[in-house]
């Protein structure tokens, strides 16, 4: 019997909410909690995927999982986002149906990660090849580029998309990706100049300041302190993020000069944040502002911020266009759209951006309701099943409140922006209070007809809309300016006159030859048009839904807040979605897998059914006595009305499987016992036969052995009478042949050797042992690499210098010589010091320098090259002393287990200036002295003179009043180096 897994097998809670019994809000939330606590973050509502953000990595997105869900039935395995992605991809590839995957939810619910998982799965399961892989890589790498420039950290999400993104991935007839087209919606450009408390600017600013080198930053003219709310505390991304963004831009298709141009404009936006103004008066009496300090006029700061926002917004749009040029397909056959757009937002202070974002989410909710009901109805009609209508909330009335061309909020905002006279945010609010006061989803305290006159939670300068996701309070301050989105014409002309090529492209209206006096469309008008186009695009495709939910507001793992999840379940309309699904039939399944799963319940279908699958299901349900009103036969599927019917079938299947398992175990145990008995019987016959043979052979061998012993004694007695001694040549031959079996192992530390058999071979025996040891040592040395040889040579030289002379030496034998203990080439802290040392650093360590005046120690960086040693400050990396090795006359250490050593220098240098000696202390004394010794020539190293001498006598004039004898307690070993020795390294 072939056993397949299913979402009904080993289910934690209920994998499909349609099967939940009883169905109410409490059981719905409890089922989500139970699955979330067991790391089951995905749950179905029919074909809709509910995704809970785990706020941690889970081992469910591996290549093995991709293969597990590849080409499998949607309900065949436990719920997963891969199942939905596979279903959409196979429908597109095999049935030529354009697909769209709609990912919705609050900010921080995991929409961006869900879109990445969908794209990575499709990239993994589609075709292979050099060109296809290049296209896939470009599509995937477009994400980090857009995230760097369009995402930011908010109070609810560390990687919040501050723009809407819709990507159409285009495929050929085989299902291989050809390219794509990205559409972006409403970048939150106000974040460039101002962010709410606890939030950050766009990622690219921090990546640039944290990851770019000093030279790069200098070239980009960002030497000044940045004031666009980029405090040092927040500039913490790893350098690798900057590198990843640059690599992604190159993979997508950006040239090096284009990347440089983009970074220069990012730096220009940062530079704008440093501009300050001061007021001045002209001779003719007019006022003006000059760049100086914080007391400039307000209009100058407004122009500065407007330019910064427009510059960044246009740069982002140019990036999207440039990416589209790289990833666009030459031909188009099939399309899969992935929508990753900002989630519904309810902040403490909601402005024009939140109003536009929530309007877009209202439209998405509307299309979700329409397409869900339409798809449900189409399936029943397609299968020939009667459809039963169900009541649900339709948010079209909210969409109409916002987008109505006559008296919608956006239309009134545009009217205020375009009409002559004094226009303020308050006049806009007055118009809303007049026209929208009676609307059931609009609330305002200032309206004369308002029932909220005594509602003190509703400020005078705000209005409130009752969205499908809850009530949101909007502050009208800034609505008019943000909707106008105007930039002074002289600023556009100034940008067009810039020598920067990309800057000129971003401000084409600044061209004096193409002056256009027509007022540009408002931001609200543009967004409404783009959202309308998006809705039309989505309606032409087969929809697939991922509804993202965040379990808590703390962005923490293992926390499930019931009230927060309940709020999201309500405004996402998930309960209504379940009821719509269950209005007709709760469960449907194709005939083939249904028969395969339940065939053991009927004798006629078990173990195999020879005929059409539908006939087999009819026989099965009739035999199981399922009431006729509980199911219906479609053209390709069986429809089950009540979940209890399905659970009854599951329970009977589970009991039947237990009976089958018992039967299989009984038959298997009988077969196993019978097989074991037959094996024992056969083995007994074989053993008996072999034993009888063995007994006879043993008896024969004993008789033969006794005979041979008697014969040998007789022959030996006769031979001894003729030969008194064995010849010497035979003894030597026996000795050398015996060495083949007694020779020790090839390990150089194996001191075993066979005993000497004959006294006359004593010399040869000893010499052979010596030769064999030298030979295996040579073999052992031949396995060493050049690096290991150098290490062992240093260790050997350390042994020659310090063995039996320095008490510290035995403890250092097992410690490898590392050389660069500071990792000076990798640590950015020592880049300045590394550049100051031109030669290769042989050793870099922290030592203690003993002060001549008071005997106190101070930490210093000790660097040794082939021709110099350098002492530098540990904190700043500033070079304190750089001494050529030819000026070092001797090195002095004690015989004890301390780390002190003294460096004796020439008293008069070439320039005629005297330098004092150094008394230092280090934990790596043995390695430092050894490397100093190795800097000499081989010839001079053979004549190193070791003498005992008091350190005070060594250089009392240079070390001052310090008694080194008191420090070291005993005499020292002096390692003398000649000037030619130290200078030739």
In the annotated binding site for ATP, the residues are 105-112
Neighbours of 87 (CB within 10 A): 18
Instruction: Evaluate the omega torsion of the peptide bond into residue 319 and state whether it is cis, within 30 degrees of 0.
Output: no
Active site residue 157: yes
**What is the C-alpha to C-alpha distance for residues 591 and 613, in angstroms, rounded to an integer?**
6
Active site residue 107: yes
CB 623 within 8 A of CB 604: yes
Active site residue 127: no
Among candidate residues 343, 510, 584, 936, the one labeled active-site is 343
In angstroms, the Cα distances linking 263 to 202, 216, 710, 766 are: 14, 10, 104, 77
Please report which residue ranges of 345-450 form alpha helices under DSSP H: 352-383, 396-403, 409-418, 425-435
SS3 774: helix
C-alpha closest to that of 954 among 937, 971, 934: 971
Length of the chain: 985
**What is the C-alpha to C-alpha distance for residues 726 and 778, in angstroms, rounded to an integer?**
38
CB 32 within 8 A of CB 43: yes
Among candidate residues 43, 53, 112, 577, the one labeled active-site is 112
CB 845 within 8 A of CB 924: yes
Active site residue 882: no
DSSP per-residue letters across 224-243? SPP-SS--TTT----HHHHH
SS3 906: coil
Sole residue written with tokens 């100051």: 836
End-to-end CA distance of the chain: 79
In angstroms, the Cα distances linking 105 to 26, 37, 565, 682 are: 21, 21, 11, 71
What single DSSP character describes residue 600?
G
Contacts of 716 (CB under 8 A, 6+ apart): none
Among candidate residues 78, 142, 154, 161, the one labeled active-site is 161
What single DSSP character describes residue 35?
H
Active site residue 160: yes
Tokens of 418: 């375009």
Tokens of 786: 């050049």
CB 161 within 8 A of CB 111: yes
Phi and psi for 904 in degrees, rounded to 5?
-90, 125
Active site residue 91: no
Could you give the angle at which helices 409-418 and 396-403 cross, rounded to 10 degrees?
A: 0
CB 236 within 8 A of CB 195: no
C-alpha closest to that of 108 among 152, 47, 49: 152
**What is the C-alpha to C-alpha distance for residues 697 and 745, in angstroms, rounded to an integer?**
39
- Paired strand residues for 341: none
**What is the C-alpha to C-alpha distance for residues 399 and 528, in angstroms, rounded to an integer?**
11
**What is the C-alpha to C-alpha distance for residues 125 and 133, in angstroms, rounded to an integer?**
12
Tokens of 256: 């090096």
**What is the C-alpha to C-alpha distance for residues 200 and 564, in angstroms, rounded to an integer?**
25
CB 891 within 8 A of CB 932: yes
**What is the C-alpha to C-alpha distance for residues 641 and 638, in angstroms, rounded to an integer?**
10
Active site residue 78: no
CB 845 within 8 A of CB 930: no
Could you give the angle at which helices 203-211 and 256-272 cross, rounded to 10 degrees?
A: 100
SS3 517: coil
Sole residue written with tokens 């084409």: 508
**What is the C-alpha to C-alpha distance for residues 684 and 85, in angstroms, rounded to an integer?**
62
Contacts of 252 (CB under 8 A, 6+ apart): 138, 141, 142, 145, 323, 326, 327
Q: Which residues are catalytic?
A: 107-108, 112, 157, 160-161, 343, 345
């Amino acid at each position: 019997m072939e056993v397949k897994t299913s979402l009904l097998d080993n289910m934690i809670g209920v994998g499909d909410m349609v099967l939940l019994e009883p169905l109410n809000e409490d059981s719905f939330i409890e089922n989500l909690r139970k699955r979330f606590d067991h790391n089951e973050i995905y749950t179905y509502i029919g074909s809709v995927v509910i995704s809970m953000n785990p706020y941690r990595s889970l081992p469910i997105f591996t290549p093995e999982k991709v293969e597990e869900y590849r080409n499998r039935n949607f309900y065949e395995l436990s719920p997963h986002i891969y199942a939905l992605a596979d279903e959409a991809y196979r429908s597109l590839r095999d049935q030529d149906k354009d697909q769209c995957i709609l990912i919705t939810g609050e900010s921080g619910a995991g929409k961006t990660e869900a879109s990445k998982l969908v794209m990575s799965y499709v990239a993994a399961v589609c075709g292979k090849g050099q060109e296809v892989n290049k296209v896939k890589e470009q599509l995937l790498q477009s994400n980090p580029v857009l995230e760097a420039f369009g995402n930011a950290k908010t109070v609810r999400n560390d990687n919040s998309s501050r723009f809407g993104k819709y990507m159409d991935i285009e495929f050929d007839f085989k299902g291989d990706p050809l390219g794509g087209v990205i559409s972006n919606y409403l970048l939150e450009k106000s974040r460039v100049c101002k962010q709410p408390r606890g939030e950050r600017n766009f990622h690219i600013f921090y990546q640039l300041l944290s990851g770019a080198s000093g030279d790069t930053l200098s070239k980009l003219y960002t030497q000044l302190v940045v004031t666009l709310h980029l405090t040092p505390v927040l500039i913490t991304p790893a350098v690798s993020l900057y590198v990843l963004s640059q690599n992604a831009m190159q993979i997508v298709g950006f040239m090096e000069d284009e990347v440089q141009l983009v970074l220069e404009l990012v730096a220009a936006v940062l530079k704008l944040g440093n501009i300050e103004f001061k007021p001045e008066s002209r001779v003719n009496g007019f006022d003006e502002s000059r760049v100086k300090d914080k007391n400039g006029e307000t209009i100058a700061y407004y122009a500065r911020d407007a330019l910064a926002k427009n510059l960044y917004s246009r740069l982002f749009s140019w990036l999207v266009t440039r990416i589209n040029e790289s990833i666009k397909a030459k031909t188009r056959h099939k399309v899969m759209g992935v929508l990753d757009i900002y989630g519904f937002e309810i902040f403490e202070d909601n402005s024009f951006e939140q109003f536009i974002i929530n309007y877009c989410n209202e439209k998405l909710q509307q299309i979700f309701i329409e397409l869900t009901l339409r798809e449900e109805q189409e399936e029943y009609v397609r299968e020939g099943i009667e459809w039963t209508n169900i009541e649900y909330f339709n948010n079209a009335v909210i969409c109409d409140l916002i987008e109505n061309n006559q008296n919608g909020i956006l239309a009134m905002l545009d009217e205020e922006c375009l009409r002559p006279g004094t226009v303020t945010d308050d006049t806009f609010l007055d118009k809303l209070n007049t026209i929208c006061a009676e609307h059931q989803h609009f609330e305002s305290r200032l309206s004369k007809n308002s029932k909220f006159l005594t509602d003190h939670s509703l400020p005078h300068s705000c209005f409130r809309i009752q969205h499908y996701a809850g009530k949101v309070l909007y502050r009208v301050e800034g609505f008019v300016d943000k909707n106008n989105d105007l930039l002074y014409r002289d600023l556009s002309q100034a940008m067009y006159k810039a020598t920067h090529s990309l800057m000129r492209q971003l401000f084409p209206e600044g061209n004096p030859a193409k002056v256009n006096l027509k007022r540009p469309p408002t931001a609200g008008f543009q967004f409404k048009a783009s959202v309308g186009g998006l809705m039309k695009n989505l309606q032409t495709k087969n929809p697939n839904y991922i509804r993202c939910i965040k379990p808590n507001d703390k962005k923490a793992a293992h926390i499930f807040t019931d009230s927060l999840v309940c709020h999201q379940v309500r405004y996402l309309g998930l309960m209504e979605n379940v009821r719509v699904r269950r209005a007709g039939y709760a469960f449907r399944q194709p005939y083939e897998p249904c028969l395969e799963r339940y065939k053991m319940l009927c004798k006629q279908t078990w173990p195999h059914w020879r005929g059409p699958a539908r006939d087999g299901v009819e026989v099965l349900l009739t035999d199981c006595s399922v009431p006729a009103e509980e199911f219906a036969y479609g053209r390709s599927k069986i429809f089950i009305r009540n979940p209890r019917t399905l659970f009854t079938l599951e329970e009977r299947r589970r009991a039947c499987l237990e009976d089958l398992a018992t039967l299989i175990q009984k038959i298997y145990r009988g077969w196993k016992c019978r097989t074991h008995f037959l094996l024992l019987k056969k083995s007994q016959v074989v053993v008996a036969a072999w034993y009888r043979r063995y007994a006879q052979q043993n008896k024969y061998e004993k008789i033969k052995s006794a005979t041979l012993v008697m014969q040998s004694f007789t022959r030996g007695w006769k031979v001894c009478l003729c030969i008194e001694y064995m010849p010497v040549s035979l003894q030597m031959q026996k000795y050398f042949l015996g060495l083949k079996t007694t020779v020790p192992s090839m390990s150089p530390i194996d001191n075993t050797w066979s005993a000497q058999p004959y006294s006359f071979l004593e010399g040869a025996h000893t010499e052979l042992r010596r030769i064999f040891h030298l030979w295996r040592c040579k073999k052992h040395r031949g396995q060493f690499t050049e690096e290991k040889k150098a290490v062992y040579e240093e260790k050997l030289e350390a042994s020659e210098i310090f063995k039996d002379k320095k008490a510290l030496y035995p403890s250092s034998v097992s410690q490898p010589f590392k050389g660069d203990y500071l990792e000076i080439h990798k640590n950015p802290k020592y880049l300045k010091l590394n550049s100051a040392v031109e030669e290769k650093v042989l050793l870099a360590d922290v030592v203690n320098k003993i002060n001549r005046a008071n005997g106190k120690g101070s930490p210093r960086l000790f660097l040794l090259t082939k021709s110099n040693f350098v002492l530098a400050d540990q904190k700043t990396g500033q070079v304190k002393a750089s001494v050529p090795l030819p000026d070092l006359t001797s090195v002095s250490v004690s015989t004890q287990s301390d780390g002190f050593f003294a460096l004796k220098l020439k008293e008069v240098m070439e320039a005629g200036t005297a330098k004092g000696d150094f008394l230092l202390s280090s934990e790596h004394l043995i390695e430092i002295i050894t490397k100093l010794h190795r800097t000499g020539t081989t010839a001079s190293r053979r004549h190193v003179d070791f003498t005992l001498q008091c350190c005070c006598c060594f250089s009392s004039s240079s070390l001052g009043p310090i008694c080194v004898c008191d420090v070291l307690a005993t005499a020292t070993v002096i390692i003398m180096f000649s000037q030619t020795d130290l200078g030739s390294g």
